[in-house]
Amino acid sequence: MDYKKFTASKNNKNLKRFLSVPADKRIIFVPQCLRNVKKCKAEEFGSFYICAGCGACKIAAIQKAATDKGYIAVRILKGGSTVKKAVRDLRPKAILGVACYFEGAQGIKECEKRNIPVYFYPLSRDGCENTDLKLPALLKIIKGETG
């Protein structure tokens, strides 16, 4: 499967529905590989972390934008397999998911089973650690400023 094409076509289909859900019913998932592991002060809760806002990686800005908009939560997931549990626990009506293309495609399929609109935002550099993303465009989506 071409994960890049798959996720792009799902995003085209889901963006409107994702944005129509009020921010306080949305959650954001980000992968743990985005953390600055040497400096990270995030609190660990079994299958996920919550950012402590130390500013050593881009998750702090994501968390701040989400909190300002009233999102339910930003969860730093330990792996794609933890999406199911987080959705069960938090019962969001829409999801913004940051991941590599492969994990993104799996997450989209998981959300489709539950009929939850998901918008996937790809990492610009993937891998097991020190990953990266383009922050300004993501912050726009979090704020609902998609042009």
Q: Which stretch binds ligand SF4 (CB under 6 A): 5-13, 38-46, 67-75, 132-140?
A: 38-46
Q: Closest approach of Cβ 51 to ligand SF4, in Å?
A: 3
Interaction of residue 66 with ligand SF4, rule CB under 6 A: no
Among 23, 54, 100, 139, binds ligand SF4 (CB under 6 A): 54
Q: Closest approach of Cβ 31 to ligand SF4, in Å?
A: 11
Among 27, 33, 42, 142, binds ligand SF4 (CB under 6 A): 42
DSSP string, the chain: --HHHHHHHHHHHHHHHHHHS-GGGEEEEEEGGGS-TTT--PEEETTEEE----SSSTHHHHHHHHHHHT-SEEEEES-GGGHHHHHHHH--SEEEEEE-HHHHHHHHHHHHHTT--EEEEE-SB-SSSS-B--HHHHHHHHHT---
Interaction of residue 74 with ligand SF4, rule CB under 6 A: no
Residues forming contacts to ligand SF4 in the complex (CB under 6 A) are: 35-36, 39-42, 51-57, 59-60
